[in-house]
Amino acid sequence: MEGREPIIQVNDLHHNYLRGTPLEVTALKGVTMEIYPGEAVGIIGRTGAGKSTIVQHFNGLIRPRERGKVIVDGVDLADPAVDIRALRQKVGLVFQYPEQQLFERFVGDDVAFGPLKMGLPMDEVRERVREAMEMVGLSFEAFKDRYTFTLSGGEMRKAAIAGVLALRPKVLILDESTSGVDPRSRKELLGHISRLHEEYGLTVIFVSPNMEDVAELVDRVYVIDDGRTVMSGTTREVFSRPEELVRYGLGVPQITEIVHELAQRGKLPPTTVISVQEGKEAIWKILNSSAT
C-alpha cells in the first residue's frame, strides 16, 4: 500500500442527523479511515454505530458539513461544486434490501436505468447491462425479459446489485446488502463479489454484521463504535483481539473463537485463524501430533 494514494480518505468525520430540530442526534463523532484502490475493506460495528452514515458520505448522499473531511479520488466532498453525478458513477453504493429500489417491469430495463441516465448510446447500454448481469450470475439472455416482480428474493437482489455495477464503478460499497437472503444466494453473491474484487480489481467496501462473511471477503477491517473508529488493521489482526471486539458488541468468526479457545487451554500455540480451512489445518495438526 505504501506510496499509493488512497481512493477514499476520511479524517475525523462528524455528522448529526436532523440538524436544527429538537430530534437532532449525533451519528458520527470522529471517524478516520483510508481505503486504497483495489482493496477489500470491511466496516463492522453494532447496530447504530454509524456504519451506514459513513458509507453514505462516500458517494455524496450525505455531505460533510460539520467537522471532518472526506476525500474521494482526490476530490474534497465538502466543496459544494463537486460533480455529484460523476462521483456516484465512480462510487457505487448498494443498500440493505436493494430489491426495494426495483421499479421497471423487465429486469433488463431496470439494470439499464443507470447507464441510460448517463446518456450512453444504446449498444453500450446493452453491453453494460449484459456485463453487469453476468457479473452477478444472472444470465442476460434468460433474465433480461423476465418480469421484475416475479423474480425470487435472491434474484431480485442480484438484479439490484447489477443495476449499480452497470455504472462501472471503481468502488463498490455493499451496506449489509447480503443480509436477509437465503444461504445459497448469499454464498453465490459473496462468490461473485470476491471474483469482482480479484479479477476486475474493483475496490470493495463491505459492511456486514456477519463476521464469517467479513473474514472471507476482506483484507482489512475498521471497527466503528458509537460514531468513532475504535480498531483497525488487517482482518487477522482485528480478529486476534476477540475480547476487545466483544466489548464493542461484536464477535469473531466461530472458527476463530474455537481455535482461540483451544490455544487458551494450551492445546495449540496461540494463532489466529480466520477461515474454516485454516482452522481445519490447525486442528488436524494437534490431532496428528497427539496420535503419534
Q: How far apart are CA 9 and CA 287, in angstroms?
A: 46
Is residue 56 a contact partner of residue 2, using CB atoms and an 8 Å limit? no
Binder of other proteins out of 65, 67, 195, 267 (CB under 8 A): 65
89 is an interface residue for other proteins by CB under 8 A = yes
Give the count of beta carbons closer than 10 Å to the beta carbon of residue 234.
Answer: 13
Query: What is the rounded CA–CA span in Å between residue 106 and residue 83?
Result: 30
Q: Which of 40, 44, 54, 95 binds other proteins (CB under 8 A)?
A: 95
Interface with other proteins includes 23 (CB under 8 A)?
Answer: yes
Distance CA 135, CA 15 (A): 35
Work out whether 121 is an interface residue with other proteins (CB under 8 A). Answer: no
167 binds other proteins (CB under 8 A): yes
State yes or no: residue 67 binds other proteins (CB under 8 A).
no
Which of residues 112 and 245 has its CB atom nearest to other proteins in the complex? 112
108 binds other proteins, rule: CB under 8 A:
no
Q: How far is Cα 111 from Cα 126, in angstroms, rounded to an integer?
A: 10
How many residues at the interface with other proteins, by CB under 8 A? 37
Shortest reach from residue 161's CB to other proteins, in Å: 10
CA gap 221, 237 in Å, rounded:
9
Cβ proximity to other proteins: between 117 and 247 the closer is 117
Q: Are 210 and 181 in contact (CB under 8 A)?
A: no
H or E segment at 233? strand 228-234
Decide: 202 and 171 in contact? Cβ < 8 Å.
yes
- Paired residues of 223 in beta bridges: 44, 231
Cβ-proximal residues to 125 (8 Å cutoff; 6+ apart), any chain? 112, 115, 116
Closest C-alpha to 217, from 251, 234, 241, 193: 193
Determine, following the binding rule CB under 8 A, whether residue 18 of this chain makes contact with other proteins: yes
**Is 101 a binder of other proteins (CB under 8 A)?**
yes
**Stretch of 85-93, 232-240, 252-260, 275-283 lying at the interface with other proteins (CB under 8 A):** 85-93
Is there binding between residue 120 and other proteins (CB under 8 A)?
no
Query: What is the three-class DSSP state of 7?
Result: coil
Does the footprint of other proteins cover residue 70 (CB under 8 A)? no
**Applying CB under 8 A, does 179 fall inside the site for other proteins?**
no
Identify which of residues 203 and 272 has a Cβ nearer to other proteins in the complex: 203
117 near other proteins (CB under 8 A)? yes
50 forms part of the interface with other proteins (CB under 8 A): no
Answer yes or no whether residue 118 interacts with other proteins by CB under 8 A.
yes
Of the two residues 163 and 253, which places its CB atom closer to other proteins in the complex?
163
* β-strands 8-17, 25-35 pairing: antiparallel
Which residues of the chain form contacts with other proteins (CB under 8 A)? 17-23, 56, 59, 61-63, 65, 80, 84-85, 88-89, 92-95, 98, 100-103, 113-115, 117-118, 149, 163-164, 166-167
